[in-house]
Structure 1
């Protein structure tokens, strides 16, 4: 037993050469030596397998982790880490069964030299809770979007069917009204589809940016003008621009998307004056770039909800929406290597502040 404990200590020391305690790792870590006996069994592995470390260390890997694939075949027999192909470096993560429970398992074979004998087998174990949370999130996303699509699609279908069947019965003004409604609902559907595509790109790290010089002050002016043209009172918006602003290379369409979403939230969910400030980032921001602040004078966001504002499906009120807009905004800002925060503004309402760092042209970045 003393030899087993000594071997465990040596294994942990080797793994801790980089200053990392295996017990601090969030995933289960199991290490077997060249004889196939376990020399390291961290706290997460104990939690996932329900096997005490004292009973695992020193025993054969195949006995402590009797893994089977989903067809009931012994995984260690199939993979044969010590006697398999000498060029094999490990096994990718996959779903396996451990005592009838599903776990995510990956393995790496450590050799002293290429094609040499295996000196260590390093096994990573993860519970399936994270995957199930992801699956639930995807299911909720599908349900939310399906619900949001149903209303405009029903409207489009209803008006087009009515027009096709009873065209002659309507006046030109009635036809125009119905076609405008169809057009607006089609725009809403297009926005929902665009949100889905943005989420897919953000989640997979494939959000493309087409950087070029961006005049943020001019972009803010366009958005405010569009709001006023759509019927909002001109005195509801207050714009402050602090010149000179640093040069900004960013994706103008994505910057417009961020501004549009933040202004929409301020108008729809806030009250009173909507203030937009554009200024160089200050020393307290600890970065160089352009800072944009959008605040309102509404009730603000409850303190307990601030940490969830940028998560999927968060809604500040019951006034509709998918709850995906701010999640996308955060993804866009971070894709520009920027930051975004939320808090309480001077007028008591919500205050969103994002900073886009000083950037270089795409061909220099």
Structure 2
């Protein structure tokens, strides 16, 4: 190989000498161009020979010189070749180290050559064919990087330096270079300081990538984030910060030092923030012309500080709305009659309404101290207000388990005071629980009474003498009692629940099949009319029974039929009607008789009284003493008989209901004077006196003057009949509101208690002078006609007192009477 390299310069130099000779011959050619052709040929031949000889001589000389030089160069080359072989051996020894491996490519299509090996602990394959399968022994990221780098190295001659990680977490250094048309990659296993440096480089790259990713993420969120230098100036902000301070971009916000927080807030952060305790507070600032609220967190480090602002304006608005809602909710609950109490996540009382306090009778101070739920239950138990439990601790734990439950818990508490409560305990989403106490005392009592009432009702209906049947809107019987089945002569199976009214009608047809009976009942029961009027009437069955029926609409479109057996009542009623008709005729005959007899008696009596008075007149002649005495007896007896007849006629008129009072306005003082004058002769005859006690302003009263005078005279006559001779009769009158109250007293023997109950009966006389016994009966009748009252108070040996109260008639009645 060396000899070949030495011969190539010699050949080149020989070729140059031959070329020079040819050039000389060509230069000599033109100078002899004018000679003959042969001479020219000879000249050319000679010239060529001379040139060749000259060249041979020159070449021989040069060759001699070059040979000496070439021998010197050969000796030098041999020395260099020996050194190169020594270096190659040394480099091959170095490359053969287990910590290095080189892969070389000669051109794009050349096969790779491998030198050296990597340590087995790195996980690199020993076989050459497996080494370039980077994905098998390198981590995916490193494998992708080295493959891309090798591709660029071979195609674009782009060098690289990479730090790779094997699947065994070993670190390799890969260097790619191009030299002399060859590309090679050197893989070096790093150890000790270089490995640590490589690991630090990888860690730095990871941190840089993570920081870049984090900053990219922070730029995408809509929360302002900033970073400050140790001197407090802005070092970095995200896009949300730049948008909040209305800067062009984040770099412009930092460059222009635009601050999001006001100066007071920044000073507060600088004064309160420490390395251990970051600043946390709510800050108000203006963003885009609107007042906004931010939750600011600012953390200080030796290299500066970093902060983030969370916009809580909407949260504050929602919180305020929630506060208003909770306040309204609390006010609403406070006015409810249902007790409600709310406890927080620590089971402490947060809210209670007035109904809760009233029901459990808690002190306000105790409730305002926010006691725990368990403490409330213990206090209620100590006060004897909770139901007694066999295992109090277990019951209490069960009641408080609502704070760990998801669904609403419900329980019934039967309190010692007789109340029944339905307790609802519901866990709150934000923690805690709400307790609602529904008082079911009235409901339970009503249900108990309702159930009792239904049982009593069923028993009552079954034992009623009246027949009862209830039908649903579709015409099917719901219930019936034994009396109903007995009246209509049907069995219990025929009237069982669910039987249609058509079947009932057919079963009852033998007893009654007229169209106005069951067919009409069926139409009323199954009618779709909006209004269902009740109906009643009377039926007479073929069996002779007479029924009083009633169709009564019930709730839920039901209808009740009732049948009352009034056969006996009808028979009695018919008999009474007949008797009443006979009595009416007899009463009419009596009234006619009384009126006729009274008239017939009055006429002779009037004649007798008139003729007796006529006999007393001097014009008829003188009467002897005995005749005058007889005439006086005739006149007196006739007057008594006329009074009796008038009394009987008045009582008959009252009994017939045909007496009418003649209302007038009466001056009571004049009335008393008139009565005293008219009663003077009777007082003289009875040898008693009359003491009238009445105020001067007794006033007037609207009544029947004639009947009122009769009342006074009858009472005074009755008192005179019982008063002893020489005694006095008392007449006392006064007013109580519009009523006239008068009493008539005597000092007679009194009325026995067994007789006192019969003094107002007719034809009862107990006076010393006897009589028909109609005075007090007429008094009671006339007082009743005036809507008044009369009472008698008498004790044996102490006399008798009769009290009469007569109300004044109203002006309307007075005008109507007129």
Under a length normalisation based on structure 2, what TM-score does the superposition of the two structures give?
Answer: 0.27
The count of corresponding residues between Structure 1 and Structure 2 is 262
CA separation in 2, counterparts of 1:179 and 1:347?
Answer: 38
Once the two structures are TM-superposed, the CA of residue 192 in structure 1 deviates from its matched residue by 1.8
CA separation in 1, counterparts of 2:698 and 2:547?
Answer: 51
Is 2:714 the partner of 1:261? yes
Do 1:309 and 1:326's aligned partners in 2 also have CA atoms closer than 8 Å? Answer: yes
Query: Are residues 112 and 274 of structure 1, via their aligned partners in 2, closer, same or farther at CA, if it must alter by over 3 Å?
Result: same
2:772 corresponding residue in structure 1: 322
Query: Which residue, out of 645, 649, 652, partners 1:200?
Result: 652
Specify the SS of the correspondent of 1:312. Answer: coil
Do 2:668 and 2:699's aligned partners in 1 also have CA atoms closer than 8 Å? Answer: no
Query: Which residue, out of 202, 211, 217, partners 2:663?
Result: 211
Higher relative contact order (CA 8 A, sep 6+): 1
Query: What are the residue-to-residue correspondences of 1:158-237 with 2, within 5 Å?
Result: 171=623, 178-229=630-681, 231=684, 236-237=689-690
Query: Are residues 267 and 292 of structure 1, via their aligned partners in 2, closer, same or farther at CA, if it must alter by over 3 Å?
Result: same
Query: Are residues 180 and 235 of structure 1, via their aligned partners in 2, closer, same or farther at CA, if it must alter by over 3 Å?
Result: closer
Query: Which residue, out of 783, 788, 802, partners 1:338?
Result: 788
2:732 corresponding residue in structure 1: 277
CA separation in 2, counterparts of 1:353 and 1:39?
Answer: 55
1:301 corresponding residue in structure 2: 751
Question: Mean alpha-carbon deviation: is it higher for 191-200 or for 173-182?
Answer: 173-182
CA separation in 2, counterparts of 1:250 and 1:196?
Answer: 22
Under a length normalisation based on structure 1, what TM-score does the superposition of the two structures give?
Answer: 0.55
1:11 corresponding residue in structure 2: 466
Do 1:246 and 1:358's aligned partners in 2 also have CA atoms closer than 8 Å? Answer: no
Once the two structures are TM-superposed, the CA of residue 6 in structure 1 deviates from its matched residue by 4.2
CA separation in 1, counterparts of 2:634 and 2:770?
Answer: 19
CA separation in 2, counterparts of 1:202 and 1:239?
Answer: 30
Of Structure 1 and Structure 2, the greater helix share is in 2
Query: Are residues 121 and 309 of structure 1, via their aligned partners in 2, closer, same or farther at CA, if it must alter by over 3 Å?
Result: same
CA separation in 1, counterparts of 2:666 and 2:547?
Answer: 47
CA separation in 2, counterparts of 1:208 and 1:354?
Answer: 20
CA separation in 2, counterparts of 1:259 and 1:337?
Answer: 16
**Where do 5+ consecutive residues of structure 2 fail to align?**
1-457, 470-481, 489-512, 518-536, 539-545, 553-561, 581-585
Deviations 1:178-218 (A, max 9, x none): 55544433322322221121111222332210000122332
Deviations 1:29-83 (A, max 9, x none): xxxxxxxxx969xxxxxxxxxxxxxxxx9569xxxxxxxxxxxxxxxxxxxxx98
Specify the SS of the correspondent of 1:199. Answer: helix
Do 1:296 and 1:347's aligned partners in 2 also have CA atoms closer than 8 Å? Answer: no
Once the two structures are TM-superposed, the CA of residue 277 in structure 1 deviates from its matched residue by 0.3
CA separation in 2, counterparts of 1:241 and 1:264?
Answer: 19
Do 2:734 and 2:742's aligned partners in 1 also have CA atoms closer than 8 Å? Answer: yes
Query: Are residues 274 and 120 of structure 1, via their aligned partners in 2, closer, same or farther at CA, if it must alter by over 3 Å?
Result: same
Do 2:742 and 2:805's aligned partners in 1 also have CA atoms closer than 8 Å? Answer: yes
**Where do 5+ consecutive residues of structure 1 fail to align?**
15-37, 41-56, 61-81, 91-106, 282-286
Query: Are residues 261 and 58 of structure 1, via their aligned partners in 2, closer, same or farther at CA, if it must alter by over 3 Å?
Result: farther
- RMSD over aligned Cα atoms: 5.3
Specify the SS of the correspondent of 2:647. Answer: helix
Query: Are residues 246 and 175 of structure 1, via their aligned partners in 2, closer, same or farther at CA, if it must alter by over 3 Å?
Result: same
CA separation in 1, counterparts of 2:768 and 2:486?
Answer: 58
Is 2:804 the partner of 1:351? no
Query: Are residues 175 and 13 of structure 1, via their aligned partners in 2, closer, same or farther at CA, if it must alter by over 3 Å?
Result: farther
Query: Are residues 309 and 217 of structure 1, via their aligned partners in 2, closer, same or farther at CA, if it must alter by over 3 Å?
Result: farther
2:399 corresponding residue in structure 1: none
Higher Rg: 2
CA separation in 2, counterparts of 1:233 and 1:180?
Answer: 17
Do 1:270 and 1:300's aligned partners in 2 also have CA atoms closer than 8 Å? Answer: no
CA separation in 1, counterparts of 2:468 and 2:644?
Answer: 53
Specify the SS of the correspondent of 1:314. Answer: coil
Once the two structures are TM-superposed, the CA of residue 324 in structure 1 deviates from its matched residue by 1.4
CA separation in 1, counterparts of 2:795 and 2:668?
Answer: 21
Specify the SS of the correspondent of 2:698. Answer: coil
Once the two structures are TM-superposed, the CA of residue 11 in structure 1 deviates from its matched residue by 3.0
Do 1:290 and 1:357's aligned partners in 2 also have CA atoms closer than 8 Å? Answer: yes
Query: Are residues 218 and 169 of structure 1, via their aligned partners in 2, closer, same or farther at CA, if it must alter by over 3 Å?
Result: closer
Once the two structures are TM-superposed, the CA of residue 236 in structure 1 deviates from its matched residue by 1.8
Deviations 1:306-343 (A, max 9, x none): 22111112222352211111111100000000000001
Deviations 1:219-271 (A, max 9, x none): 22222223334535897221100354354111111011111111111112223
CA separation in 2, counterparts of 1:310 and 1:193?
Answer: 19
Do 2:752 and 2:795's aligned partners in 1 also have CA atoms closer than 8 Å? Answer: no
